Amino acid sequence: MAVKLLLIALFALASSSAILASDPSPLQDFCVADLQSKVFVNGFPCKNAGDVKAEDFFRSGLDRPGDTNNYLRSNVTPVNVNQIPGLNTLGISLVRIDYGPNGLNPPHTHPRATEVLTVIEGQLYVGFVTSNLNGGGNRLFTKNLKKGDVFVFPEGLIHFQFNTGKTDAIAFAGLSSQNPGVITIANAVFGSKPPISDDVLAKAFQVDKNLIDWLQAQFWTDNNY
């Protein structure tokens, strides 16, 4: 009986760990991603440990500002497993975000990561929206940030940052996934390929189909590079 209970407890623990984990957990010191492998797994297969070099854990260039010469006046420079293969299975990545005056990192979500952001230069108006509440609606949390301030965006929730200052702003953010993913709301809804039916969007947004057609015809800027 005791053995049976122990097995049930171990199974429950393993199941809960699998449910709570966003990224695969490391089973050795490191598992440097083999980005050229043809094997498809959840994450990336490991490079042969004998072929691993220091460069697999290194990336330079985050001292250089991103190009904000676009409609959004912002630029996101990612550092995830695609840039540093050594991040594979480690469950962490980061980004540098540059904002020109009135620059916007538009409403978006990271389906696999919580984000913690800190302002390095300038000032930002930031916020996130909750999932649907039991009583209906969604709650918005916002904050005006200055240099040195930190703000957290919970995993999967829609969030944004807007430069309210008259000078450039810079932020760095850590994310709790080696590959957090990003879904920019406007781009996904109005710029998907193939497009979502305008009948569906007109009914969802309760507007005329002509407005939906116009929105779908626009060029939706992607500030993630």
- 115 assigned binding-site residue: yes
How many helices (DSSP H) and strands (DSSP E) are in the chain? 4, 10
Rounded Cα distance between 152 and 115, Å, is 6
Within 10 angstroms of residue 107's Cβ, the number of other Cβ atoms is 16
- 75 assigned binding-site residue: no
Please give the distance of CA 139 from its chain centroid, rounded to a whole number.
21
Question: Tokens for 129?
Answer: 């929206």
- 48 assigned binding-site residue: no
Question: Tokens for 38?
Answer: 């043809």
- 121 assigned binding-site residue: no
Among 126, 95, 127, 93, residue whose Cα is nearest residue 112: 93
What is the Cβ-side half-sphere exposure of residue 163, based on CA atoms within 13 angstroms? 26
Q: Where is the binding site for Mn(2+), in residues? A: 108, 110, 115, 159
Q: Where is the binding site, in residues? A: 105, 108, 110, 115, 159
Q: Where is the binding site for oxalate, in residues? A: 105, 110, 115
